[in-house]
Amino acid sequence: MGLLERLWDWLTSSGSGKPRKGHPDLYPLEVDKLAKELRLVDEAKRLGEAGLPACDATLISGPEAAVVQRVEKARQDYVDWAALRLNVLSQDLGRRNITQDVNRARQADKEFERKASTLLTEQDSILRTLGETARKRKAELDAFRTEHGLTREAHFPSGTRTYLLYAVLFLLVGVEGVLNARFFAQGLDSGLLGGFAEAAIMAAINVAVAFLLGKFAIRYVNHRSAALKTLGLAALAFSFFVMACVGMGIAHYRDSLTAEVANPAKAALDAFIEHPLHLRDFFSWALFAISMVFGIASLFDGLFSEDLYPGYGSISRRTQTAVEDHEDELNTLRIDLEELKNEELKALDKTLERAQADVAVFESLIKDKLMTGSRLSTALRDADNSLDALLRKFRTENELHRKGLQRPVYFDRQPDLRPIRTPDFSTAADEAGLREQRVLVNALLAEVQEIRARIQAAFTQHFDRLKPLGTHFPAKEIA
């Protein structure tokens, strides 16, 4: 029956309940379970009936030695667990040293000053180059104004308006092509579609010529120089002459198409040379009028695509571009400086928050360390108590079955256990470190507002150094 019981106990026992070295927690010694496992009662009875151990024995019996061995093993496991736990806690405490971070945070204003100076130094050459270019362009603009007696601001279209002017130019080509398509369709086998193609080509020529004359020639009418003003007037007259020639050429080409001659282009050229003002019907004159109207519109489109005074718009635009390039670089640098300031302030706040949290964790780790030492002491006491209970259970049962023989003398004392070396759970050094870290955190708390103010002051000082070029010549003077 005893064999069957042991077999059943072996089958139903849990492997996880076995003591293991380095176990993450302390396991208790269960006296009744261990006594059953070691068969202390049976062994005590068997030895007692045999008169063992002898009354003069000085060494403990085998069952008692087994108990001592198991208790010693448990004690060593407890110590190993405590040493492992202490090592983990010590590493955690070592990682919670905030001295370096706090000292760096207390120097945050100096760190910002260093980074800001480095940033400005890196961009200094670019700013100087752009600023010098802008000043040269301003000097050129001032000289141009003085030379030509200009006191007003330049008027030239912005980027959006420039696109609009060119869009109007294409619109003029399309509208003129649509209006002229029916006139050309009367003499073409391809009908209205072919008429539109022919008309669009003619309209493009008419509009382009008028636009270019308006953009580059006629504006000299406004020039200060009498010679150039005369040249501008001549260009104006020439522009109308060219538009008239283009318009009459288009009208003669339409006459040739309606006359169904073999070579309408040659016939139109011959008719234009021989009788330039002679057109066959009213529709040709209407075509001429339409061409003139759209030519004049294109001329004005080209004229207002730039300032009316020759060269004033281009030099003003170059100056404005140079000023804007410098101002854009300044704005970018201001943004970078602002981001640098915000990063430093955020880093300061995060360091303070992290330091406060680390101090709290540090204190918690110290308590955990003390608790671990206390748990080890409790576990070792429990192991001693378990040893006493197990030995008492064996010895009491042994005495009951000795048949009157005297009990062994050594039953009156506990066997000496193998000495163990317990870890040092002293927290004096940790407590001193905690006090130092609290002093550091309190010092940072006391200084944090002043540090933030110094960072802001340094930022303002550097920001004020980035004076916009517009203070030297406002944008309205070059617009």
Q: Which residue has the higher pLDDT, 429 or 478?
A: 429
Nearest Cα to Cα of residue 404 among 57, 49, 59: 49
168 vs 410, residue with greater confidence: 410
Q: Which residue's entry shows tokens 């020439």?
A: 238
Give yes or no for residue 294 having a pLDDT over 60. Answer: yes
% of residues, the chain, pLDDT over 90 = 37
Tell me the three state secondary structure of residue 277.
coil
Say what the pLDDT of residue 172 is.
Answer: 66
Q: Where do the H-state alpha helices sit in 149-263?
A: 159-185, 191-216, 226-258
Please state the rounded mean pLDDT for residues 329-346.
Answer: 92
pTM for this predicted structure: 0.61
pLDDT bin (cut points 50, 70, 90) of residue 173 is low
Residue 25's H or E segment, with its range, is: none
CB 376 within 8 A of CB 422: yes
**Over residues 284-309, mean pLDDT:** 81
pLDDT at 388: 94
Q: Are the beta carbons of 467 and 125 closer than 8 angstroms?
A: no
Looking at residues 252-261, what average pLDDT do you find?
71
Looking at residues 429-447, what average pLDDT do you find? 92
pLDDT at 150 over 80: yes
Among the listed ranges 120-124, 345-349, 468-472, which one has the minimum average pLDDT value? 468-472
Mean pLDDT of the chain: 82
Instruction: Flag the least confident range among 35-49, 194-208, 305-319, 321-335.
Output: 194-208
pLDDT at 10: 46
Which CB contacts under 8 angstroms, 24+ apart, belong to 434-438? 434/359, 434/362, 434/363, 434/366, 436/99, 437/96, 437/97, 437/98, 437/99, 437/102, 437/355, 437/358, 437/359, 437/362, 438/359
Q: Is the pLDDT of residue 17 over 50?
A: no
pLDDT, tens digit, 9 for 90 and up, residues 111-130:
999 998 898 888 888 888 99
SS3 call for 151: coil
Q: Lowest-pLDDT range, 139-148, 171-180, 186-195, 393-402?
A: 186-195
Asked if pLDDT for residue 12 goes beyond 50, the answer is no
Which amino acid, 81? W
Query: In this predicted structure, what is the pLDDT of residue 199?
Result: 63
Confidence of residue 169 (pLDDT cuts 50, 70, 90): low
pLDDT at residue 410 above 60? yes
**Residue-level pLDDT at 15:** 43
Which of 79-93, 119-133, 193-207, 292-306 is predicted most confidently? 79-93
pLDDT at 283: 74
Q: What average pLDDT score do residues 167-195 get?
A: 59
SS3 409: helix
Tell me: the pLDDT tens digits for 208-249?
888 888 888 888 888 888 888 888 888 888 888 888 887 787
Domain boundaries, the chain: 30-104+339-472, 157-305
Mean pLDDT of 414-439: 92
